[in-house]
């Protein structure tokens, strides 16, 4: 279980992913959920790079390219998410997910 074992990276990625899911499911604040999403994305990016490093054939940097794309999309998504949180803030004075339950069954 060292730096040059794929298993460890997979383990770390899995831990990141699980914590991300935990954050998404339990946080009461929208920011918390956002943090969770970022964690899950990072887990995926890390796994891409890890597989790229250990599995991919010579000179193949698909993993890293994919990770770059992941980061780009994460950035874009964060921007839009925060814009929408801003809209919620301006109308509700708060981004507490317990209070944004007007749309329900």
Partner 1 sequence: MSETLMILAPELILTATLLAVLLSDAARWRSFAYLLALSGTLCALLASALAPRGTVGDQLAIDAWAALARPAILLSAVLLLMAARSLHDDDDGPAWAALLLALALGALVTAASAHLLPLWLGLELMSLSGYALAGWRAGSRRSAEAGMKYVLFGGAASALSLYGMSHLYGLAGRLDFAGIGAMLAVDQPLPVTAALLIASVGLAYKLTLVPFHYYAPDVYQGAPPLAVASVGTLPKIAAIAVLVRALSSAVPESLVSPASVSGLLALLATASLLVAALTAVVARDAQRIIAYSAIAHAGSMVLALAARPHSSATAAAAFYLAAYVPATIGALLALALLAPTAGRTALVELAGSGQRRPWTGVALVVCLASLAGLPPLAGFLAKWGVLRAALEVGLGAPERSVLLWAAGALLLSTAISAWAYLLIIRAVFFQPAPAQQTTATPPLPPGVAAVLALCVAATLALGLWLSGFAVLLHSLHP
Partner 2 sequence: MIPEWLSSAIVLIPLAAALLAAPLRSAGLAHALAATAMAAATALAVWLAWLIVPTGLSWQGPRLVWLDLGSWALSLGTMVDSQAAIMGVIVCLLATLVLIFNAWYMHDEPLAARFPWQFSFFAFAMLLVVFADNLFLAFVGWELVGLGSYLLIGFWYMKPAVADDPFYQRFKGVRARGVLEHCLSPAHAQLKAFIMNRIGDAGFLLGIGAFLAAGLAAGVRDPLQWSELQRLAAQGMPGSFLGLSGEDLLLLGCLGVFCGAIGKSAQFPLHPWLPDAMQGPTTASSIIHAATMVAAGVYLVARCYPLFPPEALLVVGIIGGFTCLLAATIASVQWDLKATLAYSTVSQLGLMFVGLSAGSEAYGREAGLGHLYAHAMSKCLLFLAAGAVIHAAGGVQDMGRLGGLARRMPLTAIVSLLAVAALIGTPFTTGFFSKDAVLSAALLHAEQRGGWTWLPFALACAGSLLTAFYMVRWWVRIFLGPERQPEITEHAHDPPGWAAAPLVVLALFTLWAPWTVREHGEAVATGHSHAQIAAFSLIGGLIVFAVLTYAPVVRLVSCAGKPRWWQRIFSEHAEQCGFAHGQPSCTVPCGVKTAAAFAPGLLLIPWLLGYVFDSWFAPHGPDPAAAAQYHAMAIAIGLMFTGAATGLIIYWWLPRLGVDTTGFLARHIYPLYNACANLWWIDRAWHALFARGLGEGLGRLSARLDLGDRTRLAALEGAAPWRPRDLASLDGAIDGLGRICARLGAGLAAWHDGRIGAYAALAVGIASLLVIMGVLW
Partner 3 sequence: MLADLLFWICALATVGGALASALLPNLVHAALCLGLALSGVAGLYLFLEAYYLACVQVIVYVGGILILILFATLFSSDILGRFQRSPPWQRVGGLCVAAIAGALAVRLGQVVYQHAATLEHQRPAQLREAIAAPGGIGDLLTGPWLIPFLLASLLLTAALLAAVALVQRYRHRTPKDVDGS
Of residues 28 through 67, those in contact with partner 1 by CB under 8 A are 30, 33-34, 36-37, 40-41, 43-45, 47-48, 50-52, 55-57, 60, 62-63, 66
Q: Are 51 and 29 in contact (CB under 8 A)?
A: no
Is 33 one of the binding residues for partner 2 (CB under 8 A)?
A: yes
What's the CA gap between 70 and 42, in Å, rounded?
A: 8
CB-based burial, 23-60: b 16+ in 10 Å, e otherwise: bbeeeeebeebbebbbbbbbbbbbbbbbbbeeeeeeee
Using DSSP, state whether 96 is helix, strand or coil: strand
* Interface stretch with partner 2, choices 2-10, 47-55, 65-73, 96-104 (CB under 8 A): 96-104
With CB under 8 A as the contact rule, the residue among 19, 24, 29, 64 that binds partner 1 is 24
In the list partner 3, partner 2, partner 1, none, the entry touching 15 (Cβ below 5 to 8 angstroms by class) is: partner 3
Total H helices, total E strands in the chain: 3, 0
Looking at the DSSP assignment, which residues form a beta bridge with residue 29? 96
Is 44 one of the binding residues for partner 3 (CB under 8 A)?
A: no
Would you tell me which residues interact with partner 1 (CB under 8 A)? 13, 17, 20, 24, 30, 33-34, 36-37, 40-41, 43-45, 47-48, 50-52, 55-57, 60, 62-63, 66, 69-70, 73, 76-77, 80-81, 83-85, 87-88, 90-92, 95, 100, 102-105
């Amino acid at each position: 279980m060292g730096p040059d074992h794929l298993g460890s990276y997979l383990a770390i990625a899995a831990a990141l992913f699980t914590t991300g899911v935990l954050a998404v499911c339990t946080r009461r604040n929208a920011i918390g959920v956002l943090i969770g999403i970022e964690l899950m994305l990072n887990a995926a990016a890390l796994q891409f790079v890890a597989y790229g490093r250990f599995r991919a054939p010579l000179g193949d940097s698909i993993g890293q390219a994919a990770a770059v794309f992941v980061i780009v999309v994460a950035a874009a998504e964060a921007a839009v998410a925060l814009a929408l949180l801003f809209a919620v803030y301006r109308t509700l004075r708060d981004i507490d997910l317990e209070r944004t339950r007007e749309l329900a069954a």
